[in-house]
Each structure stands twice: as structure tokens, then as C-alpha cells.
Amino acid sequence: MNIVKKYDKKELTMSIEGRIDTITSQILDKEINEEFGNFDSLILDFTNLEYISSSGLRVLITAQKKLKEDSIPMIIKNVNDTINEIFKMSGFNKILKIE
């Protein structure tokens, strides 16, 4: 997994490439948590994401809950069909904001 962070003023876009699995989900969680307080909105760009496990889904839900407490939006963009199917099967498409 590779994560590229880009700020546009107070909006953080994290482009995630590869796979979010049991091991890499811990890295993603750490990367998101390190940026808390530095942004007013978070965009997760999944253009090059190939796979996400239940551990990765848990990271997304945890991050969304933390951000929601401070009224900070988290948007997931550019989801391919495979990842979208995982979101639908897990019901996360109804919980997460996906564009």
C-alpha cells in the first residue's frame, strides 16, 4: 500500500494505492490519526485501491466517527466496482459518504 497526502488549504486528500488489509490498515489508521487537527475535510481517493479487508473497513468507520464528532466531513472518491461491491455487501455504502 502507498499513501500520498496532498493539502489544498485545510482540505486533505489521501490517495491510497494497492491493498488495505490486516497489516496495511494499521498504517492507514496511523497516517489518518497523525493528521487529525490539521484539516477541515478529508478526502480518501481510492482510484488505485485494489482491495479492502474488514480491518480496512473498521479503520474507515473509526475515522468517520472521530471526524463526525468535530463536524469534519470524510468523503471517499473514485471507488472502483470491486471496492464498491465490498461496500455494498457490508452495508458500508449506507454509512460512508461515497462519491
Interval 34-58: pLDDT, tens: 999 999 999 999 999 999 999 999 9
pLDDT at 59 (0 to 100): 97
Long-range contacts made by residues 67-71, C-beta under 8 angstroms, separation at least 24?
Answer: 67/42
Q: Indicate the pTM of the whole model.
A: 0.94
Low-confidence ranges of the chain (pLDDT < 50): none
Residue 72 is predicted with a pLDDT of 96
